[in-house]
Structure 1
């Protein structure tokens, strides 16, 4: 059976900002769907231990006060997230993560911040990721327009309820992954491990091309990180 017809686990976070090395997770969701099995959803609201900027609150609607009064401690929440994802990965379920280098790196840095063994160190090569953003860029390279989750949902006719909430985004990413498998048979001819490896190569190629483009436009110092699905510690931002 093709990977897109089996069990998939969507993972998404909302945070205090966009810097994966310094910003903090505020909400997170893991949702398991497909495989002729009822869906399972787990949500986290975390007190990040820092003030949530107004710009971030405007996106995900979580205020500093709400996080402090209703959220669990960051150390506890991050440990639970890593444990939950570890269980899923070791069960052989692929993780569907829109723009994986963001969410996985953010989680990695949070784990290190609180002394939790990072996911990739626990599961090693068992980690298999399906990243709709990377795949879409590869299968439809020359389509104009943005490639956010909202844009991909519109393009692939996927329902998105409540964009920029972790639970809505996680399930939508799984739906887009399913659509991609449905629309492009070449993707489903690969095992999920082969697809994982291919995505790493596709993302590296895209990053190199985009970096060359920016430098050709006069941005001589432009650096685009080509690592996927996780940015290395101390790597390019």
Structure 2
């Protein structure tokens, strides 16, 4: 099986200080770039998160403060990573809900301007959960017939994710070997922002996906309750959420 690619696709996995997209940081990133001709390139980077790695996180991925003390910060490698994934679709395991939003936050904090909205996002976990309901280790065992060694290391998880997707395409004839199709089936919602605080409704209108205005048009809420915009900007929302909300607000202001 060979992936039917129009653009290169980057399978990637992050090991982090925790699971809070707003406040946690990357400590390791591995990405496997697969080209349309089938050629592969892989890279693994340890990152100094500039904060303490909690013991409960280290217990999962095995990376401690001392392991990354002399490693570059994300800001130091951000432009190189952005260049490596430029023009590529992105794939991962639980990537739509965690890895992609967190990576986007890190790029914003590093002042690296990269437009990820035009990419196709393939979330192998979503495909797996829709088909079988399992974890990555179980998915690897189920689809590939092998035990996942070194689980929760970025390199092992990245390679396993790639192999699971290939096996899913072999196993399910209804899955099209097409990145647009896989991106569509990987998504539960049509997110406006990566964290899914705003989504598109059936008519393509941006609506809030949380709180007291859930399901209501973002532009209409901002007209009716302009203070809500300030509240979001001053609260614990991701930088990407704030940026997308600002983009909608500016669009509506210039349209008047």
Q: TM-score under structure 1 normalisation?
A: 0.72
Instruction: Note if contact 1:138-1:202 (Cα within 8 Å) is conserved in structure 2.
Output: no
Q: Kindly tell me: are residues 158 and 168 of structure 1, through their superposed partners in 2, closer, same or farther at Cα, counting changes over 3 Å? A: farther
Equivalent position SS for 1:186: coil
Q: Unpaired runs of 5+ in structure 1?
A: 208-220, 223-229
The aligned residue for residue 116 of structure 1 is 112
The aligned residue for residue 76 of structure 1 is 76
Task: Quote the offset at 1:3 in angstroms.
Answer: 7.0
Instruction: Note if contact 1:134-1:202 (Cα within 8 Å) is conserved in structure 2.
Output: no
Equivalent position SS for 1:82: helix
- Runs of 4+ residues over 6 Å off in structure 1: none
Higher Rg of the two aligned structures: 2
Aligned partner (choices 64, 86, 99) of residue 94 of structure 2: 99
Task: Quote the offset at 1:5 in angstroms.
Answer: 5.2
Q: Tell me the distance in 2 between the aligned counterparts of 1:167 and 1:95.
A: 16
Q: Tell me the distance in 2 between the aligned counterparts of 1:130 and 1:3.
A: 16
Q: TM-score under structure 2 normalisation?
A: 0.67
The aligned residue for residue 56 of structure 1 is 57
Matches within 5 A, 1:1-237: 4=3, 6=5, 8-33=9-34, 37-69=38-70, 71-85=71-85, 87=86, 90=87, 93-100=88-95, 101-117=97-113, 119=114, 122-125=115-118, 127-140=119-132, 147-157=134-144, 159=146, 160-188=148-176, 191-201=178-188, 233=241
Q: Which structure exhibits the higher relative contact order, with contacts defined as CA atoms closer than 8 Å and separated by 6 or more residues? A: 1
Q: Tell me the distance in 2 between the aligned counterparts of 1:36 and 1:74.
A: 30
Instruction: Note if contact 1:128-1:196 (Cα within 8 Å) is conserved in structure 2.
Output: yes
Task: Quote the offset at 1:4 in angstroms.
Answer: 3.1
Q: Kindly tell me: are residues 17 and 32 of structure 1, through their superposed partners in 2, closer, same or farther at Cα, counting changes over 3 Å? A: same
Task: Quote the offset at 1:111 in angstroms.
Answer: 1.4
Q: Unpaired runs of 5+ in structure 2?
A: 197-209, 212-237, 245-256
Task: Quote the offset at 1:38 in angstroms.
Answer: 4.1
Q: Tell me the distance in 2 between the aligned counterparts of 1:11 and 1:179.
A: 17
Instruction: Note if contact 2:12-2:158 (Cα within 8 Å) is conserved in structure 1.
Output: yes
Instruction: Note if contact 1:9-1:94 (Cα within 8 Å) is conserved in structure 2.
Output: yes
Task: Quote the offset at 1:43 in angstroms.
Answer: 1.1
